[in-house]
């Protein structure tokens, strides 16, 4: 039974890792957000300037 438990644990361990990858791609790090009528985004993406 220990072999079955280890195999199930390995399969379960891979699923959460693949679940986190799409969440990282949602972040705007490294992506140019551009300008709007109300706000401009700095080159680093960390600073916002409101008009």
Distance, CA of 1 to CA of 3 (rounded, Å): 5
Q: Model-level pTM greater than 0.85?
A: no
**The pLDDT value given to residue 15:** 47
Task: State the first-to-last Cα distance of the chain, in angstroms, to the nearest integer.
Answer: 65
- Residue-level pLDDT at 1: 53
The secondary structure of residue 35, as a DSSP letter, is B
pLDDT value, residue 29: 60
All residue ranges of the chain with pLDDT < 70 are 1-37, 51
**Per-residue pLDDT, 5:** 52
**Which class for 40: exposed (0-12), middle (13-18), buried (19 or more C-beta within 10 A)?**
middle
Residue 37 confidence (pLDDT): 59
């Amino acid at each position: 039974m220990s072999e079955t438990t280890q195999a199930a644990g390995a399969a379960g361990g891979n699923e959460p890792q693949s679940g986190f990858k799409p969440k990282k791609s949602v972040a705007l790090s490294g992506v140019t957000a551009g300008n709007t009528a109300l706000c401009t985004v700095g080159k680093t993406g960390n600073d916002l300037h409101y008009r």
